[in-house]
Structure 1
Amino acid sequence: MAEEAHSAASAYRAHAAAFQDKSVVYAYRYRPIYPSATFDLLVQLMGTRPGAVLDVGCGSGDIARQLVPRVERVDAVDFSSQMLERGRQLPNGDHPALRWLYGRIEEVQLQPPYALVTAGESMHWLDWHIVMPLLHDVLQDGAYLAMVGRQITPDIWSLLGDVVPRYRADFYLPQSQERQEQGLFQQVGESTTEAYAFVQSLADVVESYHSRAGFSRERMGPLKAAAFDREAEQALLAAYPDGVVPFQVRAQITWGVPQKKTPDVL
């Protein structure tokens, strides 16, 4: 059973390579931004500790670019050079205190200690047995890892009914809770921001799916991607005949302390 779980986790992480695909990088612009309160809370989590922030799996810098004017320095790490190049072109992408670092978090040259580590919807792609001890070592004493996720209502995974599971090219593996139970992350707190309204056209909603690993146009192929687009737009039009989808967007921030070792090997 343990070998099967490890194999499934490895296969799941392999899907993260889709974030190197041009179609995924292009479509990422259709994801809603994080609420501004997200960054107020992240700064508060640093307390009185001055210093740098490490953003793990930064993508195009949705967190790093908003945080960098408010902290000493942000080191933004991602293994997709295309995502980093896109981030450099966006607001604050050329900020002098923002260092874009290309590579995997366990391989790049970091400059610790860090007063905060952030991860925006990226930790589920990583092997916590490798990454959590690393983050433990690069954090200042008393500093936190803050995992940030978007809560979008209506939920995009249920918005299209059975269209999504019939077309997605990956699978979902809920790992975080299991790994917390294994003692790899000691949660300290959790907070959800107030929602803001976000309205998208049907075409933009459909395109937003292609920013996700399971809907990379390169991996789906042109025929399957086009068929998905047609079905998705038809399903949305039936539910939203006025041609737009109103969303409510929140951020959920979970913070705590990465563990050096799991309890069974202490």
Structure 2
Amino acid sequence: MTDSQSPPYPAEVFDVLESLLDEPTHVLDVGAGDGALARPLIARGRIARIDAVDTSAELIAAGRELPGGCRPDLHWIVGAVDRVPLDGPYSLVTAGSRLYWLPWKRTMARLAEVLSAQGFVAIVEHGYRRALQPIAEELVARGLFRKTGEHRTMPTPYAVDGTQPVDVVATVVWGRPIIRA
């Protein structure tokens, strides 16, 4: 299953992410999958470069084939974010539900290394009007993330193949990683 088989992110998510941008407008998308966040975000034209990192070569290959996947300002990187070479600093780091499966302590330490002084990590969770996995809250509880803002989108109707529409909601939580020894 590719990310594109999941409901799309509400447009409001991209407005929030763009509001967090600072110079340089370089973005790192962690656990990018097929680029469900990266492709629409770079298409809006406000970002100079997105580095989309995922451990799945298959999902990245699928993302390259999807609309906007072969843009020259979208760089795909196969590997673990805590180990691959990265070209920071990034003014924004985005991460979705795949963040749940990463080694949190090492990942947050790496994000702190590559984040610009004024940059933010934005954790974006979305799904059908249900309780979302509170990844950001768990990172805060473990002392790995300092939350500075949160935005929950309005429900957005989404239907697959003529089925009854369901509401999709998203939550964007942003802040800074905390380095722990």
TM-score, normalized by the shorter chain, greater than 0.5: yes
**Equivalent position of 1:252 in the other structure:** 171
Alignment of 1:1-266 (within 5 A): 24-25=1-2, 28-46=3-21, 48-68=22-42, 69-153=45-129, 155=130, 176-200=136-160, 244-261=163-180, 265=181
SS, match of residue 159 in structure 2: strand
* Length, aligned pairs only: 179
Root mean square deviation of aligned Cα: 2.1
Distance 1:126 1:32 in 2: 22
Structure 1: 5+ residue stretches without partners: 1-23, 158-172, 202-242
* 1:195–1:256 Cα change, 3 Å: same
SS of 1:88's equivalent?
helix
Q: Higher helix share goes to which structure?
A: 1
C-alpha offsets along residues 176-228 of structure 1, whole Å, 9 cap, x if unaligned?
53431221000001001122211235xxxxxxxxxxxxxxxxxxxxxxxxxxx
Structure number with higher strand proportion: 2
| CA drift at 1:245 | 3.4
Q: Report the structure number with the largest CA radius of gyration.
A: 1
Q: How many Å separate the matches in 2 of 1:110 and 1:186?
A: 23
Q: Provide the secondary structure at the position in 2 that maps to 1:197.
A: strand
In 1, are the aligned partners of 2:123 and 2:136 still within 8 Å (CA)? no
One-letter amino acid matched to 1:55: D
Answer yes or no: is the 8 Å Cα contact 1:76–1:100 preserved in 2. yes
Structure 1 stretches of at least 4 aligned residues deviating more than 4 Å after TM superposition:
173-176
**TM-score relative to the length of structure 1:** 0.63
Q: What fraction of aligned residue pairs are identical, expressed as a percent?
A: 37
TM-aligned CA deviation for residue 126 of structure 1: 1.1
Q: Which amino acid is the alignment partner of residue 127 of structure 2?
A: Q
